[in-house]
Amino acid sequence: MADIQWFPGHMAKANREMSEAVKLVDIVIELRDARMPLASHNPNFDKLFNGKPRLIILNKADLADESQNKLWLNYFKEENTILVNSTHDDLKKIVVNKVQDILKEKIEKYKAKGIRKKVLKAIVVGIPNVGKSTFINNIVKKKVAKVENRPGVTKTLTWININEDLLLLDTPGVLWPKFENQNQAKTLALLGSINDDILDKQELTNYGLKLIKKNYPGLLNSRYDINEEDDDLLYSIGVAKNCLAKDNKIDYIKACEMVLNDIRSNKLGRVTYEKL
Ligand code: G4P
Distance between CA atoms of residues 36 and 128, nearest Å: 13
The yes-or-no verdict on residue 12 having pLDDT over 60 is yes
Mean pLDDT over each residue of the chain, to the nearest integer: 90
Q: What is the pLDDT of residue 143?
A: 57
Q: How many Cβ atoms sit within 10 Å of the Cβ of residue 144?
A: 16
Q: What is the pLDDT of residue 2?
A: 77
Q: What is the pLDDT of residue 117?
A: 72
Ligand 1 within 6 A of CB of 138? no
pLDDT, tens digit, for every residue of 43-88?
999 999 999 999 999 999 999 999 999 999 999 999 999 999 999 9
pLDDT, tens digit, for every residue of 157-176?
889 988 888 999 999 999 99
Q: What is the pLDDT of residue 128?
A: 93
Q: Cβ neighbours of residue 28 under 8 Å, at least 6 residues apart?
A: 22, 45, 49, 52, 53, 54, 55, 122, 123, 125
Q: Collapse the DSSP code of 168 into the 3-class scheme (helix H, G, I; strand E, B; otherwise coil) and give the result.
A: strand
Of ligand 1's listed atoms, the one at least distance from the Cα of 128 is 4
Of ligand 1's listed atoms, the one at least distance from the Cα of 88 is 23
Q: What is the pLDDT of residue 155?
A: 52
Ligand 1 within 6 A of CB of 63? yes
Specify the residue with its C-alpha closest to ligand 1, atom 9.
Answer: 131
Ligand 1 within 6 A of CB of 266? no
Share of the chain above pLDDT 90, in %: 73
- Long-range contacts, 67-74 (Cβ 8 Å, 24+): 68/272, 68/275, 68/276, 69/34, 69/272, 71/276, 72/34, 72/37, 72/272, 72/276
Of ligand 1's listed atoms, the one at least distance from the Cα of 126 is 3
The reported pTM is 0.92
Lowest-pLDDT range of 72-81, 102-111, 116-125, 144-153: 144-153
Specify the residue with its C-alpha closest to ligand 1, atom 4.
Answer: 129
Ligand 1 within 6 A of CB of 193? no
Q: Cβ neighbours of residue 35 under 8 Å, at least 6 residues apart?
A: 60, 63, 64, 191, 271, 272, 273, 274
Distance between CA atoms of residues 133 and 117, nearest Å: 28
